[in-house]
Structure 1
Amino acid sequence: MLDRVHRDHQVGTATVYRMATPQHTCPYGIKAIHLLKSAGYRVEDVHLKSREETDRFKEEHGVATTPQVFIGGNRIGGHDDLRRFLGKKVVDPKATSYRPVAVLFALTALMAAAASYAVTGDAFTVRAAEWFIAFLMVALAMLKLQNVEGFATMFLNYDLLAKRWVPYSYIYPYAEALAGVLMVAGALSWLSVPVALFIGTVGAVSVVKAVYVDRRELKCACVGGSSNVPLGFLSLTENLMMIAMAVWMAAMSLGLFGDYAF
């Protein structure tokens, strides 16, 4: 059987059975076809045109899902099985990853540089650094606010204030968004500075205690309640940046850096 699969792998023929109805088109079926064609296969694309036809197919072949890929009459499996067959990486949706935060940091930095260039003609300015932190705060708050309940539940695992006063876990993303928006505008520093300083300080202390003192392995709520980002260095960095921004703005308001205005 394996020899036959290997021969057809060399010949390049495959059959994909996928659900395709007016109400639903299987995205993994389309991805499987793309993988096969990219690998040089000739693909027979068989549509399962109703839920009943799909259920009959799954019962006949003893499978729980579609699409199903066959090579040489032998079942390879679904989309993930096909990726393994082709020697490609299969991402574990439950695996921890810093990628969401790293991407967010990179994109907000680029946005800040772009905004600075549009205003001053120079991408690398003090204003760009200020906007980077402010944009980052707004973006992080937006991700949290997509599912406030999920964020609050995860946040309660480690935030010291939220553990003592649960409503703080719901207030936090709104406070972060407010401070970030005001910092982008450079307005109402008397409000944005204390808000950012407070939530940043409580957050930093909470992360240090949970990760570096108690040695707990937790997921960070910083990019929302469904995050697989580990609680640790990047989470602490977010809070320290908020503190630094608040201190900087306070110094600007007090005129400690001459004529420069935020």
Structure 2
Amino acid sequence: MPKDSNQPAQKAILYRMVMEDHLCPYGLKSKDLLEREGYTVEDHHLTSREETDAFKEEYSVETTPQTFIGGERIGGYDALREHFGQEVRGDDETSYQPVIAIFSVAFLMALGLSWAFYGSVFTVRAFEWFIAISMCFLAVQKLQDIEGFSTMFLNYDLLAQHWVRYGYVYPFGEAIAGILMVAGALLWISAPIALVIGTIGAVSVFKAVYIDKRELKCACVGGGSNVPLGFVSLTENLMMIFMGLWMPARALGWT
């Protein structure tokens, strides 16, 4: 917790790289964190590679920045966060944060569009936009590293394991279906795409997770994600199945 403003500030010594061609972002974060925790910072700039290498050798450290408090070396930015009791997530630690961000923003965008077009957030179109926009966002996550996505996808998708190129086709299909559903156009293209890839995906995920009991990372938000395969990916595919059935049914007046 930040120190009470009525109490005298403690002192921290910070060494960080500040060069003409490089300003260490973790050094800035360390300085900001220390100040927010109520410390006055004795800020030492390492202004050249030679000076930085000499500092590392002197203190037997491999990285900068380095923070010292009360004569004790705390370490870099992550070590400083740990020192103040803040969470530090490991590189391999699973996280639902990307999924939460995608669905939250998609939901708010859908409400915003509904309000703009219909004057109300409580519309059927808002629900359709939410799913369609979510599909677009998820497709973008896959397309930004399609090679990584296709590699992870091969771990569990049944069609991709028999036709490798499907791992490269899938994100484009999801994006096309999502975009057309946002527009409410060419449902004879978007609905079959969503229905086919959603069904294959749902069966693949269900088999891998709930039948084979495999613990895998989900490729749903891209190749570098740490989202565990399971409920999220299954939900993504079930949403596409729903939209593949719902949109044509509504267009035909069956709902």
On whether the aligned pair clears a TM of 0.5, the verdict is yes
1:252 Cα shift?
2.2
Question: Structure 2 CA distance, aligned partners of 1:11 and 1:178?
Answer: 57
Query: How big is the alpha-carbon RMSD for the aligned residues of Structure 1 and Structure 2?
Result: 1.1
Displacement over 4 Å in runs of 4+: none
Pick aligned residue for 2:167 from 166, 169, 186: 169
2:102 is paired with a residue whose SS is: helix
Pick aligned residue for 1:15 from 13, 16, 22: 13
Question: Structure 2 CA distance, aligned partners of 1:86 and 1:187?
Answer: 53
The worse-fitting range, judged by mean Cα deviation, of 139-148 and 100-109 is: 100-109
After superposition, the C-alpha distances for 1:39-74 in whole angstroms (9 at most, x for unaligned) are: 111101100001111111101110000000012332
Name the residue aligned to 2:127: 129
> Quick check: 1:231 aligned with 2:232?
no
Name the residue aligned to 2:110: 112
Question: Structure 2 CA distance, aligned partners of 1:184 and 1:11?
Answer: 54
2:73 is paired with a residue whose SS is: strand
> Quick check: 1:45 aligned with 2:43?
yes
After superposition, the C-alpha distances for 1:18-38 in whole angstroms (9 at most, x for unaligned) are: 011111111111111111111
Structure 2: 5+ residue runs without aligned partners? 1-7
1:11 Cα shift?
5.6
1:40 partner letter = G
Name the residue aligned to 2:78: 80
Question: Structure 2 CA distance, aligned partners of 1:231 and 1:29?
Answer: 35
Q: How does 1:55-204 map to 2 (within 5 A)?
A: 55-204=53-202
1:87 Cα shift?
2.0
Question: Structure 2 CA distance, aligned partners of 1:213 and 1:143?
Answer: 27
1:107 partner letter = V
Q: How does 1:205-224 map to 2 (within 5 A)?
A: 205-224=203-222
Question: Structure 2 CA distance, aligned partners of 1:101 and 1:184?
Answer: 20
The worse-fitting range, judged by mean Cα deviation, of 87-96 and 32-41 is: 87-96
1:253 Cα shift?
3.3
Name the residue aligned to 1:7: none
Q: How many residues are aligned here? A: 248
Question: Structure 1 CA distance, aligned partners of 2:110 and 2:194?
Answer: 19
After superposition, the C-alpha distances for 1:165-200 in whole angstroms (9 at most, x for unaligned) are: 000000000000000011111111111111000000
Question: Structure 1 CA distance, aligned partners of 2:60 and 2:128?
Answer: 58
1:44 is paired with a residue whose SS is: strand
After superposition, the C-alpha distances for 1:226-258 in whole angstroms (9 at most, x for unaligned) are: 00000001110110011001101121233313x
1:124 partner letter = F
Q: Normalised by the size of structure 2, how large is the TM-score?
A: 0.95
1:176 partner letter = E
1:250 partner letter = P
2:140 is paired with a residue whose SS is: helix
Structure 1: 5+ residue runs without aligned partners? 1-9, 258-262
Question: Structure 1 CA distance, aligned partners of 2:201 and 2:177?
Answer: 15
**Identity score, percent:** 62
Name the residue aligned to 2:24: 26
1:77 Cα shift?
1.0
